[in-house]
Amino acid sequence: MEIATRAAMQEATSAGRDIAIRTGGRARRPNSVRLRRLNILVGALSLPLFIGLWELVSRSGTVNMVLFPPPTVVAAAVLEWIRSGQFFSDLLASLFRVTTGFIIGGALGILLGVLTGQFPLISSLLSPLFHILRPIPPIAFVPIVILWFGLSEAGKLFLVVWGVFFTVWLSTHIGVQKVDRGLIRAALMLGTPRRQMLQEIVLLGALPYIVVGLRTAVSISFYTLVAAELAGAFAGIVYRIEIAQQNLQTGQVMGGLAALGLISFIADRLFAALAERIVWWR
Amino acid sequence: MNLALASSPASVESARTQPAIQVSNLSIVFDTKRGQIIAVDRVSFDVAPGEFVCIAGPSGCGKSTVLNTIAGLEVPFEGEILVEGAPVYSPRPDVGMVFQQPHLFPWKSVRSNIAHGPRMLGKSTTEAYAIADDLIAMVGLKRFADAYPNTLSGGMQQRVAIARALANQPRVLLMDEPFGALDAQTRAVMQDNLLALRDRIKATIVFVTHDIDEAIVLADRVLIMSAGPGRILREVAVKLPRPRSSSVMVEPAYLSLKKDCLDVIRAEGLRAFNQSDAD
Ligand SMILES: Nc1ncnc2c1ncn2[C@@H]1O[C@H](COP(=O)(O)OP(=O)(O)OP(=O)(O)O)[C@@H](O)[C@H]1O
Ligand SMILES: [Mg+2]
Protein backbone atom coordinates (compact mmCIF):
# COMPACT_ATOMS: atom_id res chain seq x y z
CA MET A 1 0.00 0.00 0.00
CA GLU A 2 2.81 2.37 0.95
CA ILE A 3 4.65 1.42 -2.19
CA ALA A 4 1.60 2.00 -4.31
CA THR A 5 1.06 5.45 -2.81
CA ARG A 6 4.65 6.47 -3.46
CA ALA A 7 4.63 5.13 -6.98
CA ALA A 8 1.36 6.87 -7.73
CA MET A 9 2.57 10.17 -6.38
CA GLN A 10 5.82 9.98 -8.31
CA GLU A 11 4.06 9.02 -11.48
CA ALA A 12 1.61 11.85 -11.07
CA THR A 13 4.33 14.45 -10.59
CA SER A 14 6.52 13.20 -13.41
CA ALA A 15 3.54 13.02 -15.74
CA GLY A 16 2.78 16.62 -14.88
CA ARG A 17 6.37 17.57 -15.72
CA ASP A 18 6.25 15.75 -19.05
CA ILE A 19 3.15 17.59 -20.08
CA ALA A 20 4.65 20.90 -19.04
CA ILE A 21 7.76 20.24 -21.14
CA ARG A 22 5.85 19.06 -24.16
CA THR A 23 3.49 22.01 -24.23
CA GLY A 24 6.39 24.35 -23.47
CA GLY A 25 7.96 23.34 -26.78
CA ARG A 26 4.90 24.33 -28.78
CA ALA A 27 4.01 27.34 -26.73
CA ARG A 28 3.69 29.57 -29.79
CA ARG A 29 0.49 27.99 -30.95
CA PRO A 30 -2.53 29.45 -29.12
CA ASN A 31 -4.08 25.99 -29.19
CA SER A 32 -1.34 24.60 -26.98
CA VAL A 33 -1.58 27.52 -24.57
CA ARG A 34 -5.21 26.61 -24.00
CA LEU A 35 -4.21 22.98 -23.63
CA ARG A 36 -1.62 23.87 -21.03
CA ARG A 37 -4.09 25.91 -19.02
CA LEU A 38 -6.48 22.99 -19.12
CA ASN A 39 -3.75 20.68 -17.88
CA ILE A 40 -2.94 22.96 -14.95
CA LEU A 41 -6.63 23.20 -14.10
CA VAL A 42 -7.11 19.43 -14.24
CA GLY A 43 -3.95 18.94 -12.18
CA ALA A 44 -5.18 21.31 -9.50
CA LEU A 45 -8.55 19.60 -9.41
CA SER A 46 -7.15 16.07 -9.29
CA LEU A 47 -6.79 15.66 -5.53
CA PRO A 48 -9.97 17.51 -4.46
CA LEU A 49 -11.92 15.52 -7.04
CA PHE A 50 -10.48 12.25 -5.82
CA ILE A 51 -11.11 13.10 -2.15
CA GLY A 52 -14.64 14.32 -2.89
CA LEU A 53 -15.45 11.10 -4.73
CA TRP A 54 -14.03 9.09 -1.86
CA GLU A 55 -16.20 11.03 0.62
CA LEU A 56 -19.30 10.43 -1.51
CA VAL A 57 -18.68 6.71 -1.97
CA SER A 58 -17.96 6.22 1.75
CA ARG A 59 -21.12 7.99 2.82
CA SER A 60 -23.34 6.53 0.10
CA GLY A 61 -24.09 3.45 2.16
CA THR A 62 -22.87 1.05 -0.50
CA VAL A 63 -19.69 0.31 1.46
CA ASN A 64 -19.00 -0.39 5.12
CA MET A 65 -18.07 2.97 6.63
CA VAL A 66 -16.04 1.37 9.39
CA LEU A 67 -13.75 -0.37 6.92
CA PHE A 68 -13.78 2.44 4.36
CA PRO A 69 -14.09 5.68 6.32
CA PRO A 70 -14.49 8.98 4.43
CA PRO A 71 -11.61 11.50 4.29
CA THR A 72 -13.26 13.68 6.92
CA VAL A 73 -13.06 10.83 9.41
CA VAL A 74 -9.43 10.16 8.43
CA ALA A 75 -8.61 13.84 8.90
CA ALA A 76 -10.26 13.84 12.31
CA ALA A 77 -8.23 10.79 13.32
CA VAL A 78 -5.00 12.44 12.18
CA LEU A 79 -5.83 15.64 14.09
CA GLU A 80 -6.52 13.63 17.21
CA TRP A 81 -3.24 11.75 16.67
CA ILE A 82 -1.35 15.03 16.51
CA ARG A 83 -3.24 16.60 19.45
CA SER A 84 -2.53 13.64 21.70
CA GLY A 85 1.19 14.19 21.19
CA GLN A 86 1.67 10.64 20.02
CA PHE A 87 2.23 11.70 16.43
CA PHE A 88 5.49 13.44 17.20
CA SER A 89 6.88 10.67 19.34
CA ASP A 90 5.91 8.18 16.62
CA LEU A 91 7.46 10.38 13.97
CA LEU A 92 10.66 10.80 15.96
CA ALA A 93 10.95 7.07 16.63
CA SER A 94 10.51 6.21 12.95
CA LEU A 95 12.78 8.97 11.67
CA PHE A 96 15.46 7.96 14.16
CA ARG A 97 15.39 4.37 12.91
CA VAL A 98 15.45 5.37 9.26
CA THR A 99 18.20 7.98 9.52
CA THR A 100 20.47 6.04 11.86
CA GLY A 101 20.04 2.87 9.81
CA PHE A 102 20.60 4.80 6.60
CA ILE A 103 23.77 6.46 7.85
CA ILE A 104 25.29 3.27 9.28
CA GLY A 105 24.27 1.10 6.32
CA GLY A 106 25.33 3.77 3.82
CA ALA A 107 28.72 4.28 5.47
CA LEU A 108 29.39 0.54 5.65
CA GLY A 109 28.22 0.11 2.06
CA ILE A 110 30.53 2.83 0.74
CA LEU A 111 33.48 1.57 2.77
CA LEU A 112 33.16 -2.06 1.68
CA GLY A 113 32.18 -1.09 -1.86
CA VAL A 114 35.41 0.87 -2.21
CA LEU A 115 37.40 -2.03 -0.74
CA THR A 116 35.86 -4.73 -2.95
CA GLY A 117 35.86 -2.45 -6.00
CA GLN A 118 39.48 -1.49 -5.62
CA PHE A 119 41.16 -4.62 -4.28
CA PRO A 120 40.51 -7.87 -6.20
CA LEU A 121 41.58 -10.00 -3.24
CA ILE A 122 39.01 -8.46 -0.91
CA SER A 123 36.43 -8.75 -3.67
CA SER A 124 37.16 -12.47 -4.10
CA LEU A 125 36.74 -12.89 -0.37
CA LEU A 126 33.52 -10.94 0.15
CA SER A 127 31.63 -10.56 -3.13
CA PRO A 128 30.35 -14.18 -3.36
CA LEU A 129 28.94 -13.89 0.16
CA PHE A 130 27.36 -10.52 -0.52
CA HIS A 131 25.85 -11.70 -3.77
CA ILE A 132 24.17 -14.59 -1.99
CA LEU A 133 22.85 -12.47 0.89
CA ARG A 134 21.81 -9.46 -1.18
CA PRO A 135 18.76 -10.89 -2.99
CA ILE A 136 17.10 -12.11 0.24
CA PRO A 137 14.36 -9.57 1.02
CA PRO A 138 15.21 -7.90 4.35
CA ILE A 139 11.68 -8.67 5.57
CA ALA A 140 12.59 -12.35 5.55
CA PHE A 141 15.05 -11.63 8.33
CA VAL A 142 12.34 -10.47 10.75
CA PRO A 143 11.95 -13.84 12.50
CA ILE A 144 15.64 -14.29 13.13
CA VAL A 145 16.04 -10.67 14.15
CA ILE A 146 13.37 -11.21 16.79
CA LEU A 147 15.24 -14.27 18.01
CA TRP A 148 18.52 -12.41 18.15
CA PHE A 149 17.51 -8.97 19.34
CA GLY A 150 14.02 -9.42 20.80
CA LEU A 151 12.03 -6.21 20.46
CA SER A 152 15.01 -3.93 21.06
CA GLU A 153 15.96 -0.95 18.91
CA ALA A 154 19.10 -2.80 17.82
CA GLY A 155 17.01 -5.34 15.91
CA LYS A 156 15.14 -2.60 14.04
CA LEU A 157 18.35 -0.81 13.19
CA PHE A 158 19.78 -4.11 12.02
CA LEU A 159 16.97 -4.54 9.49
CA VAL A 160 17.29 -1.03 8.09
CA VAL A 161 21.09 -1.24 7.97
CA TRP A 162 20.82 -4.59 6.22
CA GLY A 163 18.52 -3.25 3.54
CA VAL A 164 20.54 -0.09 2.94
CA PHE A 165 23.95 -1.74 3.06
CA PHE A 166 23.64 -4.08 0.08
CA THR A 167 22.24 -1.47 -2.27
CA VAL A 168 24.94 1.03 -1.41
CA TRP A 169 27.66 -1.61 -1.43
CA LEU A 170 26.73 -2.84 -4.91
CA SER A 171 26.49 0.60 -6.49
CA THR A 172 29.76 1.71 -4.90
CA HIS A 173 31.48 -1.49 -6.00
CA ILE A 174 30.27 -1.02 -9.58
CA GLY A 175 31.09 2.69 -9.50
CA VAL A 176 34.67 2.04 -8.41
CA GLN A 177 35.11 -0.64 -11.06
CA LYS A 178 33.68 1.55 -13.78
CA VAL A 179 35.96 4.50 -13.16
CA ASP A 180 37.25 5.52 -16.59
CA ARG A 181 40.60 3.78 -17.20
CA GLY A 182 41.54 6.76 -19.32
CA LEU A 183 41.33 9.06 -16.31
CA ILE A 184 43.56 6.73 -14.34
CA ARG A 185 46.11 6.63 -17.16
CA ALA A 186 46.00 10.40 -17.46
CA ALA A 187 46.53 10.72 -13.72
CA LEU A 188 49.44 8.26 -13.84
CA MET A 189 51.08 10.24 -16.64
CA LEU A 190 50.80 13.37 -14.50
CA GLY A 191 52.74 11.78 -11.68
CA THR A 192 49.85 10.73 -9.44
CA PRO A 193 51.25 8.06 -7.08
CA ARG A 194 49.23 4.85 -7.16
CA ARG A 195 48.46 5.06 -3.47
CA GLN A 196 46.89 8.50 -3.99
CA MET A 197 44.79 7.29 -6.93
CA LEU A 198 41.89 6.39 -4.61
CA GLN A 199 41.37 9.83 -3.18
CA GLU A 200 42.34 11.77 -6.31
CA ILE A 201 40.46 9.83 -8.98
CA VAL A 202 38.61 6.68 -7.94
CA LEU A 203 36.34 8.08 -5.21
CA LEU A 204 35.28 11.04 -7.30
CA GLY A 205 34.84 8.91 -10.40
CA ALA A 206 32.58 6.56 -8.45
CA LEU A 207 30.65 9.36 -6.74
CA PRO A 208 27.77 9.55 -9.26
CA TYR A 209 27.16 5.80 -8.82
CA ILE A 210 27.38 6.05 -5.05
CA VAL A 211 24.82 8.84 -5.04
CA VAL A 212 22.40 6.79 -7.15
CA GLY A 213 22.84 3.87 -4.73
CA LEU A 214 22.17 6.12 -1.75
CA ARG A 215 19.04 7.51 -3.38
CA THR A 216 17.66 4.01 -3.97
CA ALA A 217 18.57 3.21 -0.39
CA VAL A 218 16.35 6.05 0.86
CA SER A 219 13.22 4.23 -0.28
CA ILE A 220 14.62 0.88 0.84
CA SER A 221 15.17 2.23 4.32
CA PHE A 222 11.45 3.02 4.49
CA TYR A 223 10.47 -0.45 3.26
CA THR A 224 12.62 -2.05 5.91
CA LEU A 225 11.28 0.36 8.52
CA VAL A 226 7.83 -1.11 7.89
CA ALA A 227 9.12 -4.63 8.45
CA ALA A 228 11.04 -3.55 11.54
CA GLU A 229 8.09 -1.84 13.21
CA LEU A 230 5.59 -4.56 12.29
CA ALA A 231 7.93 -7.01 14.02
CA GLY A 232 7.05 -5.31 17.30
CA ALA A 233 7.77 -1.84 18.60
CA PHE A 234 6.62 0.61 21.24
CA ALA A 235 6.40 3.69 19.07
CA GLY A 236 6.60 4.58 15.40
CA ILE A 237 4.32 5.42 12.50
CA VAL A 238 3.94 1.84 11.31
CA TYR A 239 3.53 0.66 14.90
CA ARG A 240 0.64 3.13 15.26
CA ILE A 241 -0.93 1.80 12.06
CA GLU A 242 -0.78 -1.71 13.45
CA ILE A 243 -2.30 -0.74 16.81
CA ALA A 244 -5.09 1.15 15.06
CA GLN A 245 -5.78 -1.89 12.92
CA GLN A 246 -6.16 -4.05 16.01
CA ASN A 247 -8.67 -1.52 17.40
CA LEU A 248 -10.48 -1.33 14.06
CA GLN A 249 -9.68 2.42 13.84
CA THR A 250 -9.55 2.38 10.07
CA GLY A 251 -9.39 6.18 9.88
CA GLN A 252 -6.20 6.14 11.93
CA VAL A 253 -4.77 3.36 9.75
CA MET A 254 -5.33 5.40 6.62
CA GLY A 255 -3.98 8.52 8.28
CA GLY A 256 -0.83 6.59 9.21
CA LEU A 257 -0.39 5.40 5.64
CA ALA A 258 -0.76 8.93 4.31
CA ALA A 259 1.81 10.17 6.83
CA LEU A 260 4.26 7.43 5.85
CA GLY A 261 3.81 8.18 2.16
CA LEU A 262 4.30 11.88 2.72
CA ILE A 263 7.44 11.41 4.82
CA SER A 264 9.18 9.08 2.42
CA PHE A 265 8.18 11.32 -0.47
CA ILE A 266 9.74 14.31 1.27
CA ALA A 267 12.85 12.29 2.14
CA ASP A 268 13.26 11.23 -1.48
CA ARG A 269 12.87 14.76 -2.79
CA LEU A 270 15.29 16.15 -0.22
CA PHE A 271 17.87 13.57 -1.16
CA ALA A 272 17.39 14.25 -4.87
CA ALA A 273 18.05 17.94 -4.22
CA LEU A 274 21.09 17.06 -2.11
CA ALA A 275 22.40 14.66 -4.77
CA GLU A 276 22.64 17.47 -7.30
CA ARG A 277 24.93 19.33 -4.94
CA ILE A 278 27.07 16.30 -4.11
CA VAL A 279 27.94 15.69 -7.77
CA TRP A 280 28.87 19.34 -8.15
CA TRP A 281 30.39 19.23 -11.62
CA ARG A 282 27.27 18.06 -13.43
CA MET B 1 56.35 33.10 -12.74
CA ASN B 2 58.79 32.04 -15.36
CA LEU B 3 58.02 28.71 -16.92
CA ALA B 4 61.38 27.16 -17.69
CA LEU B 5 59.90 24.81 -20.23
CA ALA B 6 63.07 24.62 -22.30
CA SER B 7 65.58 21.99 -21.34
CA SER B 8 68.08 23.06 -18.73
CA PRO B 9 71.73 23.64 -19.82
CA ALA B 10 72.86 20.37 -18.27
CA SER B 11 70.44 18.38 -20.40
CA VAL B 12 71.52 20.19 -23.55
CA GLU B 13 75.01 18.97 -22.79
CA SER B 14 73.95 15.33 -22.48
CA ALA B 15 71.53 15.81 -25.35
CA ARG B 16 74.41 16.11 -27.77
CA THR B 17 75.56 12.68 -26.80
CA GLN B 18 72.30 10.73 -26.60
CA PRO B 19 68.87 10.65 -28.30
CA ALA B 20 65.85 11.67 -26.24
CA ILE B 21 64.15 8.40 -27.09
CA GLN B 22 65.72 5.16 -28.27
CA VAL B 23 63.44 2.32 -29.32
CA SER B 24 65.26 -0.83 -30.35
CA ASN B 25 63.68 -4.04 -31.56
CA LEU B 26 60.39 -3.33 -29.86
CA SER B 27 57.91 -6.19 -30.22
CA ILE B 28 54.55 -6.36 -28.51
CA VAL B 29 52.36 -9.45 -28.50
CA PHE B 30 48.85 -9.56 -27.07
CA ASP B 31 47.27 -12.76 -25.82
CA THR B 32 43.65 -12.84 -26.87
CA LYS B 33 40.94 -15.48 -26.96
CA ARG B 34 41.70 -16.12 -30.61
CA GLY B 35 45.39 -16.63 -29.93
CA GLN B 36 48.33 -14.30 -30.00
CA ILE B 37 48.27 -11.02 -31.91
CA ILE B 38 51.59 -9.52 -32.90
CA ALA B 39 50.68 -5.86 -32.56
CA VAL B 40 54.19 -4.47 -33.06
CA ASP B 41 57.01 -6.32 -34.80
CA ARG B 42 60.66 -5.36 -34.18
CA VAL B 43 60.26 -1.62 -34.41
CA SER B 44 63.37 0.52 -33.98
CA PHE B 45 63.81 4.29 -34.14
CA ASP B 46 65.53 7.14 -32.35
CA VAL B 47 64.23 10.60 -31.63
CA ALA B 48 66.72 13.40 -31.19
CA PRO B 49 66.28 15.94 -28.38
CA GLY B 50 63.85 18.67 -29.44
CA GLU B 51 62.84 16.77 -32.54
CA PHE B 52 59.22 16.54 -33.67
CA VAL B 53 58.51 13.05 -35.00
CA CYS B 54 55.17 11.92 -36.38
CA ILE B 55 54.19 8.27 -36.55
CA ALA B 56 51.65 7.80 -39.32
CA GLY B 57 49.85 4.61 -40.21
CA PRO B 58 46.47 2.98 -40.73
CA SER B 59 44.08 2.20 -37.92
CA GLY B 60 45.15 -0.81 -35.86
CA CYS B 61 48.82 -0.77 -36.92
CA GLY B 62 49.98 -0.38 -33.33
CA LYS B 63 50.65 3.36 -33.11
CA SER B 64 48.94 3.75 -29.76
CA THR B 65 50.60 0.61 -28.46
CA VAL B 66 54.06 1.96 -29.32
CA LEU B 67 53.29 5.31 -27.74
CA ASN B 68 51.82 3.77 -24.58
CA THR B 69 54.90 1.61 -24.23
CA ILE B 70 57.19 4.64 -24.45
CA ALA B 71 54.95 6.27 -21.83
CA GLY B 72 55.41 3.27 -19.54
CA LEU B 73 51.73 2.36 -19.65
CA GLU B 74 51.86 -0.89 -21.63
CA VAL B 75 53.79 -3.38 -19.54
CA PRO B 76 54.81 -6.52 -21.43
CA PHE B 77 57.13 -5.91 -24.36
CA GLU B 78 60.30 -7.25 -25.87
CA GLY B 79 63.20 -5.07 -26.90
CA GLU B 80 64.51 -1.95 -25.29
CA ILE B 81 63.14 1.53 -24.75
CA LEU B 82 65.34 4.27 -23.35
CA VAL B 83 63.99 7.70 -22.55
CA GLU B 84 66.73 10.22 -21.77
CA GLY B 85 69.04 7.26 -21.47
CA ALA B 86 67.00 5.41 -18.84
CA PRO B 87 64.91 2.28 -19.43
CA VAL B 88 61.16 2.72 -19.12
CA TYR B 89 59.08 0.61 -16.73
CA SER B 90 56.38 2.97 -15.53
CA PRO B 91 55.05 6.46 -16.24
CA ARG B 92 57.44 9.23 -15.31
CA PRO B 93 56.59 12.89 -14.83
CA ASP B 94 59.12 14.19 -17.36
CA VAL B 95 57.22 12.29 -20.07
CA GLY B 96 53.87 13.91 -20.79
CA MET B 97 51.01 12.36 -22.73
CA VAL B 98 48.02 13.74 -24.62
CA PHE B 99 45.50 11.05 -25.47
CA GLN B 100 43.06 10.76 -28.34
CA GLN B 101 40.27 11.59 -25.89
CA PRO B 102 41.03 14.56 -23.63
CA HIS B 103 40.45 12.47 -20.45
CA LEU B 104 40.02 15.61 -18.37
CA PHE B 105 38.99 15.12 -14.75
CA PRO B 106 35.31 16.06 -14.96
CA TRP B 107 35.14 17.19 -11.33
CA LYS B 108 37.96 19.69 -11.71
CA SER B 109 37.82 23.12 -13.30
CA VAL B 110 40.15 23.87 -16.21
CA ARG B 111 42.61 25.48 -13.80
CA SER B 112 42.58 22.56 -11.33
CA ASN B 113 42.94 20.06 -14.16
CA ILE B 114 46.11 21.77 -15.33
CA ALA B 115 47.36 22.26 -11.77
CA HIS B 116 46.93 18.56 -10.99
CA GLY B 117 50.35 17.48 -12.25
CA PRO B 118 52.39 20.10 -10.40
CA ARG B 119 50.39 19.41 -7.25
CA MET B 120 51.17 15.70 -7.51
CA LEU B 121 54.86 16.57 -7.86
CA GLY B 122 54.73 18.36 -4.52
CA LYS B 123 54.14 21.97 -5.56
CA SER B 124 51.95 24.09 -3.30
CA THR B 125 48.45 24.90 -4.54
CA THR B 126 49.46 28.54 -5.11
CA GLU B 127 52.47 27.55 -7.19
CA ALA B 128 50.46 24.97 -9.11
CA TYR B 129 47.74 27.52 -9.90
CA ALA B 130 50.34 30.05 -11.06
CA ILE B 131 51.75 27.46 -13.48
CA ALA B 132 48.21 26.63 -14.60
CA ASP B 133 47.32 30.27 -15.22
CA ASP B 134 50.41 30.77 -17.41
CA LEU B 135 49.47 27.74 -19.49
CA ILE B 136 45.81 28.76 -19.69
CA ALA B 137 46.95 32.05 -21.22
CA MET B 138 49.27 30.15 -23.56
CA VAL B 139 46.46 27.98 -24.96
CA GLY B 140 44.07 30.94 -25.05
CA LEU B 141 41.49 29.78 -22.53
CA LYS B 142 41.61 32.63 -19.98
CA ARG B 143 37.86 33.08 -20.07
CA PHE B 144 37.33 29.42 -19.25
CA ALA B 145 39.78 29.00 -16.36
CA ASP B 146 36.98 28.21 -13.91
CA ALA B 147 34.78 26.25 -16.30
CA TYR B 148 34.22 22.53 -15.94
CA PRO B 149 35.27 20.27 -18.85
CA ASN B 150 31.74 19.22 -19.79
CA THR B 151 30.97 22.85 -20.70
CA LEU B 152 33.84 23.06 -23.22
CA SER B 153 33.92 22.11 -26.91
CA GLY B 154 36.06 19.19 -28.07
CA GLY B 155 38.82 21.49 -29.34
CA MET B 156 38.91 23.47 -26.10
CA GLN B 157 39.03 20.26 -24.07
CA GLN B 158 41.99 19.04 -26.09
CA ARG B 159 43.76 22.38 -25.53
CA VAL B 160 43.26 21.90 -21.80
CA ALA B 161 44.65 18.38 -22.10
CA ILE B 162 47.75 19.74 -23.87
CA ALA B 163 48.21 22.44 -21.25
CA ARG B 164 47.78 19.83 -18.52
CA ALA B 165 50.47 17.64 -20.06
CA LEU B 166 52.81 20.65 -20.32
CA ALA B 167 52.33 21.69 -16.69
CA ASN B 168 54.95 19.23 -15.48
CA GLN B 169 57.44 20.69 -18.00
CA PRO B 170 57.96 17.33 -19.70
CA ARG B 171 61.18 16.75 -21.64
CA VAL B 172 59.23 14.40 -23.89
CA LEU B 173 55.66 14.97 -25.03
CA LEU B 174 53.73 12.04 -26.47
CA MET B 175 50.57 12.81 -28.42
CA ASP B 176 48.19 10.07 -29.55
CA GLU B 177 45.97 11.36 -32.36
CA PRO B 178 45.03 14.33 -30.19
CA PHE B 179 43.09 16.02 -32.99
CA GLY B 180 41.56 12.87 -34.44
CA ALA B 181 38.10 13.56 -33.04
CA LEU B 182 37.96 17.17 -34.23
CA ASP B 183 36.41 18.59 -37.39
CA ALA B 184 38.75 19.63 -40.22
CA GLN B 185 38.61 23.36 -39.48
CA THR B 186 39.24 23.01 -35.77
CA ARG B 187 42.01 20.53 -36.51
CA ALA B 188 43.84 23.02 -38.74
CA VAL B 189 43.60 25.66 -36.01
CA MET B 190 44.87 23.21 -33.42
CA GLN B 191 47.79 22.22 -35.66
CA ASP B 192 48.80 25.87 -35.99
CA ASN B 193 48.43 26.32 -32.23
CA LEU B 194 50.62 23.32 -31.61
CA LEU B 195 53.29 24.54 -34.03
CA ALA B 196 53.37 27.93 -32.31
CA LEU B 197 53.41 26.30 -28.88
CA ARG B 198 56.17 23.96 -29.90
CA ASP B 199 58.49 26.83 -30.75
CA ARG B 200 58.19 27.99 -27.14
CA ILE B 201 58.42 24.71 -25.22
CA LYS B 202 61.26 22.99 -27.09
CA ALA B 203 60.20 19.58 -25.84
CA THR B 204 60.83 16.43 -27.83
CA ILE B 205 57.50 15.46 -29.39
CA VAL B 206 56.28 12.13 -30.74
CA PHE B 207 52.93 12.64 -32.42
CA VAL B 208 50.76 9.78 -33.66
CA THR B 209 48.26 10.29 -36.45
CA HIS B 210 46.59 8.41 -39.28
CA ASP B 211 46.44 11.62 -41.32
CA ILE B 212 49.48 11.93 -43.61
CA ASP B 213 48.83 15.67 -44.15
CA GLU B 214 48.86 16.31 -40.45
CA ALA B 215 52.10 14.35 -40.11
CA ILE B 216 53.93 16.35 -42.81
CA VAL B 217 52.66 19.73 -41.61
CA LEU B 218 53.85 19.12 -38.07
CA ALA B 219 56.91 16.91 -38.20
CA ASP B 220 60.65 17.12 -38.72
CA ARG B 221 60.48 13.46 -39.62
CA VAL B 222 57.60 11.10 -40.44
CA LEU B 223 57.72 7.38 -39.64
CA ILE B 224 55.27 5.53 -41.86
CA MET B 225 53.95 2.35 -40.29
CA SER B 226 52.18 -0.63 -41.83
CA ALA B 227 49.53 -2.79 -40.27
CA GLY B 228 49.38 -6.42 -39.26
CA PRO B 229 51.94 -6.71 -37.65
CA GLY B 230 52.96 -3.10 -37.07
CA ARG B 231 56.33 -2.27 -38.67
CA ILE B 232 58.04 0.89 -39.79
CA LEU B 233 57.96 1.04 -43.59
CA ARG B 234 59.84 4.22 -44.27
CA GLU B 235 61.28 7.32 -42.63
CA VAL B 236 60.63 10.59 -44.43
CA ALA B 237 62.58 13.68 -43.39
CA VAL B 238 60.46 16.83 -43.69
CA LYS B 239 62.81 19.68 -44.56
CA LEU B 240 60.07 22.32 -44.85
CA PRO B 241 61.09 25.65 -43.28
CA ARG B 242 59.95 26.67 -39.82
CA PRO B 243 58.07 28.52 -38.42
CA ARG B 244 55.41 26.61 -40.27
CA SER B 245 51.64 26.70 -40.43
CA SER B 246 49.03 24.52 -42.03
CA SER B 247 49.11 26.79 -45.11
CA VAL B 248 52.34 25.00 -46.06
CA MET B 249 50.05 22.36 -47.57
CA VAL B 250 49.84 24.14 -50.93
CA GLU B 251 53.60 24.48 -51.54
CA PRO B 252 55.32 22.31 -54.17
CA ALA B 253 57.92 20.96 -51.73
CA TYR B 254 55.08 19.82 -49.49
CA LEU B 255 53.24 18.15 -52.36
CA SER B 256 56.28 16.20 -53.51
CA LEU B 257 56.83 14.97 -49.93
CA LYS B 258 53.23 13.92 -49.74
CA LYS B 259 53.56 12.07 -53.03
CA ASP B 260 56.55 10.14 -51.64
CA CYS B 261 54.54 9.15 -48.58
CA LEU B 262 51.47 8.17 -50.56
CA ASP B 263 53.57 6.02 -52.89
CA VAL B 264 54.92 4.08 -49.92
CA ILE B 265 51.42 3.67 -48.48
CA ARG B 266 49.93 2.62 -51.82
CA ALA B 267 52.64 0.02 -52.46
CA GLU B 268 52.08 -1.39 -48.98
CA GLY B 269 48.30 -1.40 -49.44
CA LEU B 270 48.68 -3.30 -52.68
CA ARG B 271 51.06 -5.80 -51.09
CA ALA B 272 48.66 -6.37 -48.15
CA PHE B 273 45.75 -6.78 -50.55
CA ASN B 274 47.54 -9.36 -52.68
CA GLN B 275 48.65 -11.20 -49.58
CA SER B 276 45.11 -11.40 -48.14
CA ASP B 277 43.95 -12.55 -51.59
CA ALA B 278 46.49 -15.37 -51.51
CA ASP B 279 45.38 -16.53 -48.03
N1 LIG C 1 44.99 -4.64 -24.73
C2 LIG C 1 44.97 -5.27 -25.92
N3 LIG C 1 44.66 -6.57 -25.99
C4 LIG C 1 44.66 -7.23 -27.18
N5 LIG C 1 44.94 -6.63 -28.36
C6 LIG C 1 45.24 -5.32 -28.35
C7 LIG C 1 45.27 -4.57 -27.13
N8 LIG C 1 45.61 -3.31 -27.44
C9 LIG C 1 45.76 -3.28 -28.77
N10 LIG C 1 45.57 -4.48 -29.33
C11 LIG C 1 45.70 -4.81 -30.76
O12 LIG C 1 46.92 -4.31 -31.20
C13 LIG C 1 46.80 -3.74 -32.49
C14 LIG C 1 47.27 -2.31 -32.48
O15 LIG C 1 46.40 -1.52 -31.72
P16 LIG C 1 46.61 0.05 -31.52
O17 LIG C 1 45.52 0.55 -30.65
O18 LIG C 1 47.98 0.31 -31.09
O19 LIG C 1 46.41 0.59 -33.02
P20 LIG C 1 46.44 2.08 -33.53
O21 LIG C 1 47.44 2.12 -34.61
O22 LIG C 1 46.61 3.02 -32.41
O23 LIG C 1 45.01 2.24 -34.17
P24 LIG C 1 44.04 3.53 -34.20
O25 LIG C 1 44.53 4.41 -35.30
O26 LIG C 1 42.71 2.95 -34.54
O27 LIG C 1 44.09 4.15 -32.85
C28 LIG C 1 45.35 -3.91 -32.89
O29 LIG C 1 45.26 -5.01 -33.73
C30 LIG C 1 44.64 -4.16 -31.60
O31 LIG C 1 43.54 -5.02 -31.83
MG1 LIG D 1 45.35 4.51 -31.48
Which of B67, B73, B103 is the mutation pick for testing A, counting most A CBs within 10 A? Answer: B103
Taking contacts as CB-CB distances below 8 angstroms, the residues of chain A near B167 are 190
In this structure, the residue with its CA closest to atom 14 of ligand 1 is B62
pLDDT in tens, B127-144: 999 999 999 999 999 999
Ion ligand 2 — residues with CB under 5 Å?
A: B 64
Query: Where along chain A do its domains lie?
Result: 2-62, 79-278
- Yes or no: say if B20 and B48 are a contact pair by the CB < 8 Å rule: yes
pLDDT in tens, B182-219: 898 889 999 999 998 888 888 999 999 999 999 999 99
* C-alpha separations of A246 from A143, A238, A240, A242 in Å: 21, 13, 10, 6
CA of B57 to the centre of ligand 2 (A): 10
What is the percent of chain A with per-residue pLDDT over 90, rounded to a whole number? 78
Q: Please judge whether A282 and B150 are an interchain contact, meaning their C-beta atoms are less than 8 angstroms apart.
A: yes
pLDDT in tens, A63-119: 888 889 999 999 999 999 999 999 999 999 999 999 999 999 999 999 999 999 999
Q: Please judge whether A190 and B99 are an interchain contact, meaning their C-beta atoms are less than 8 angstroms apart.
A: no
The atom number, within ligand 1, closest to the CA of B210 reads 25
Q: How far apart (Å, rounded) are the C-alpha atoms in residues A78 and A26?
A: 44
For residue B63, give the ligand nearest its CA. 1
Q: How far apart (Å, rounded) are the C-alpha atoms in residues B74 and B95?
A: 14
Per-residue model confidence (pLDDT) at position B76: 81
Q: Distance (Å) from the C-alpha of residue A182 to the closest C-alpha of chain B?
A: 6
Pocket test for ligand 1, best of B27, B38, B64, B175 (most atoms within 8 A of CB): B64
- Yes or no: say if A192 and B120 are a contact pair by the CB < 8 Å rule: yes
* ipTM of the shown complex: 0.87
The atom number, within ligand 1, closest to the CA of B63 reads 21
CA of B269 to the centre of ligand 1 (A): 19
Per-residue model confidence (pLDDT) at position A226: 94
Q: Is B20 left (phi over 0), alpha (psi -120 to 50) or beta?
A: alpha
Q: Please judge whether A192 and B120 are an interchain contact, meaning their C-beta atoms are less than 8 angstroms apart.
A: yes
CB-based burial, A181-211: b 16+ in 10 Å, e otherwise? eebbbbbbbbbbeeeebeebbbbbbbbbbbb
Q: Quickly state the pLDDT bin for A29 (edges 50, 70, 90).
A: low
Q: State in Å, rounded, how far the first CA of chain A is from the last one.
A: 35
Which of A190, A197, A281 is the mutation pick for testing B, counting most B CBs within 10 A? Answer: A190
A79-278: which CATH topology? Answer: MetI-like fold (1.10.3720)
